[in-house]
C-alpha cells in the first residue's frame, strides 16, 4: 500500500514516537523510508551582534546530530533511510519534501494541547492536511 514513507523528526519525544511508529509501518509495507529532520535555528531569534562563528557551528552541530540520530535509529532496525536536514517551519517543508519524493505517507509526532492553549493559538492558516495529497499518520504521546 505505501511505497515511500516520509518520517518527520525533530528529536523531541513526539518525534521519537513518530519515528518508532513510522519505522514499523515502513518495515511492514516494505516501503522506502525518508527521514526529514526539521530544526528551528537558534540563530533566528538572535541579534546580529550576538551571532558568532561558534554559535553558528553549535547550531549546525545540534541539527546534524538530530539527523544522524534519526537515520542511525532507523538503520539499526533494518531500514535503509534517506536523510534530509532542513531549517525552518515544518508546515512549509513537509508538504514540499513529500511532493518531491512522491511520498504515499507522512508520519509526524503530535503533542496534544489543552483547551486554553488551543484557544490562544487558533488561526485561519492552512494545516498540514490542507497542504498535502497523501496520507498522514499523526503519532500522539499520551501522558500517563
Topology of domain 4-140 in CATH is Rossmann fold (3.40.50)
pLDDT of residue 50: 56
What predicted TM-score, i.e. pTM, was given to this entire model? 0.79
Q: Which tens digit of pLDDT belongs to each residue from 56-79? A: 556 677 788 888 999 999 999 999
Mean pLDDT of the chain: 81
Average pLDDT over residues 1-10: 92
Using alpha carbons, select from 72, 52, 74 the residue that is nearest to residue 64.
72
In contact, 33 and 23? CB cutoff 8 Å? yes
71 against 111, higher pLDDT: 71
Find all residues with CB under 8 Å of 50, minimum gap 6, and list them: none
pLDDT of residue 143: 63
pLDDT of residue 11: 85
Q: Which tens digit of pLDDT belongs to each residue from 82-96? A: 999 988 888 889 999
Residue 66's DSSP bridge partners are none
Interatomic CA distance for residues 32 and 102, integer angstroms = 11
Domain boundaries, the chain: 4-140
- The answer, yes or no, to whether residue 137 has pLDDT greater than 70, is yes
pLDDT of residue 45: 57
When pLDDT is cut at 50, 70 and 90, the band that residue 49 belongs to is low
- The answer, yes or no, to whether residue 40 has pLDDT greater than 90, is no
Amino acid at each position: 500500500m505505501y511505497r515511500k514513507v516520509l518520517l518527520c523528526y525533530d528529536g523531541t519525544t513526539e518525534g521519537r514516537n513518530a519515528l518508532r511508529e513510522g519505522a514499523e509501518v515502513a518495515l511492514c509495507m516494505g516501503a522506502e523510508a525518508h527521514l526529514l529532520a526539521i530544526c528551528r535555528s537558534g540563530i533566528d531569534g538572535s541579534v546580529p551582534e550576538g551571532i558568532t562563528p561558534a554559535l553558528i557551528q553549535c547550531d549546525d552541530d545540534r541539527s546534524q546530530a538530530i539527523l544522524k540520530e534519526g537515520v542511525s535509529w532507523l538503520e539499526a532496525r533494518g531500514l535503509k533511510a534517506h536523510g534530509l536536514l532542513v531549517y525552518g517551519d515544518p508546515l512549509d517543508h513537509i508538504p514540499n519534501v513529500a511532493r518531491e519524493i512522491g511520498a504515499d505517507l507522512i508520519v509526524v509526532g503530535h503533542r496534544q494541547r489543552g483547551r486554553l492553549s488551543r484557544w490562544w493559538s487558533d488561526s485561519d492558516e492552512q494545516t498540514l492536511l490542507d497542504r498535502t495529497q497523501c496520507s498522514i499518520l499523526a503519532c500522539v504521546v499520551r501522558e500517563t
